[in-house]
Amino acid sequence: MILHLRAAVEQLYAAPPTRFTALRSELVAEARSAGERDLAASIGALRKPTTAAWAVNHFVRSRPDELEQLRSFAELLREAQRTLDADQLRLLGRERATRVDAVAERIAEEAAQAGQRLGAGVAQEVRDTLTALIADEDAEASVLTGSLVRALTYSGFGSVDVADVVAMGDDDAPDDAVDDDAATSRRPALSVLRGGGGRGGGGGGGGEAETGADDEEAVDPVEAVDLEERRRSRRAATRTRLQSALDAARGALRSADRQVGVLSARQEEVTEGIADLERRLATARARLEKVTAQLDEAGGIRDRREAEEEAAQQALDAHDDANDDGHDDAN
């Protein structure tokens, strides 16, 4: 007996696609007979998964270890994106398509063993779902529920749209607010180093106006030492300022280098995607050319058969006319 919606979801989305509708009706009837009208209504509202969604759900249950390997790879790729590790992004980006294709083939094999063969369009939806899983943590969480109702898609940037993609949400998930301070990068503290200020007065400048003054009496040794100290302080402050500017410029350069690396990796990813689409287009055009040639050939055969049919009809008509004339002459 079904006691809650989660149990119904688990049964329904583990069932083959051909069994889904009938099983849903059975579970609705069970809930109604137990007096659980709200539960019956909730079960009746559960949507039948597409073939691609069912295939992924089936794989989640039948081969969790193989899916875990793909998740581990996804974590590495997301970490490289967070840290802007261009080399790692480039390496993992090239490996992603290979991993997605390998897992998609395994999903198709598991589906075939369960009696459901996947066509080319469905297989592509499975690959799109796996690509979305790798790109987005919310998409990964949706896949792991094993209750997808439709395939996922990822455009290559931004987040994956996971609205209404699973049979029911995870009510046990915490709803903690995100700490904005933790998400904001801290800026380096800047301090201003000030040099010593000059003293007022005209000490040492009026020696020539003082009659009978010695050179040694014209320069105060203490004042000279203080002046040199202020000069050293100003030079040190200037050097600190220039060093800070240099460090800031170097930091900005490193950031720009990382950004260039990341964008280069993304450009390569998009280029590979375009190449894949071009290969598919070339395959589709080749199929179209082949079908067109077959159609032309079939049309030619039909024209010949039509001419043969017309000739045969004319011969029969001529034969019948000749027999009619002969019969009339005999009379």
Q: Rounded to an integer, what distance in angstroms lies between the CA atom of residue 262 and that of residue 88?
A: 10
Digit-by-digit pLDDT tens for the chain (331 residues) are 566 899 999 999 999 999 999 999 999 999 999 889 999 999 999 999 999 999 999 999 999 999 999 999 888 888 887 877 777 777 777 788 889 999 999 999 999 999 999 999 999 999 999 999 998 899 999 999 999 999 999 877 778 888 889 987 654 333 433 343 433 333 233 333 333 344 444 444 444 444 444 444 444 555 556 666 667 777 788 888 788 777 777 767 766 656 566 665 666 556 656 666 677 778 788 888 888 888 888 988 988 998 998 899 998 888 888 877 666 666 6
Q: What is the pLDDT of residue 258?
A: 60
Domain ranges of the chain: 49-144
What are the distances in angstroms from CA 222 to CA 24, 136, 229? 99, 70, 11
Structure tokens at 48: 């039948």
Q: Give me the sign of the Cα torsion angle 2, 5, 8, 14.
A: negative
Q: Rounded to an integer, what distance in angstroms lies between the CA atom of residue 53 and that of residue 165?
A: 9
Dihedral pair phi/psi, residue 148, rounded to 5°: -65, 145
Q: Quick check: helix, strand or coil at residue 147?
A: coil
What are the distances in angstroms from CA 145 to CA 10, 12, 76, 149, 155? 9, 13, 22, 11, 22
What are the distances in angstroms from CA 50 to CA 209, 265, 304? 104, 33, 46
Q: What is the pLDDT of residue 296?
A: 87
pTM of the model: 0.52
DSSP label at residue 165: -
Which distant-in-sequence residues (6+ apart) come within 8 Å of 73 by Cβ?
A: 92, 95, 96, 99, 134
pLDDT in tens, 11-36: 999 999 999 999 999 999 999 998 89
Task: Give bridge partners of residue 113 from the DSSP assignment.
Answer: none
Cβ contact 20:71 at 8 Å: no
Q: Quick check: helix, strand or coil at residue 279?
A: helix
Dihedral pair phi/psi, residue 165, rounded to 5°: -95, -15
Compute the half-sphere exposure of residue 311: CA atoms within 13 Å on the CB side of its CA: 6
Q: What is the pLDDT of residue 220?
A: 54
Structure tokens at 172: 């046990």
pLDDT in tens, 136-158: 899 999 999 999 999 999 877 77
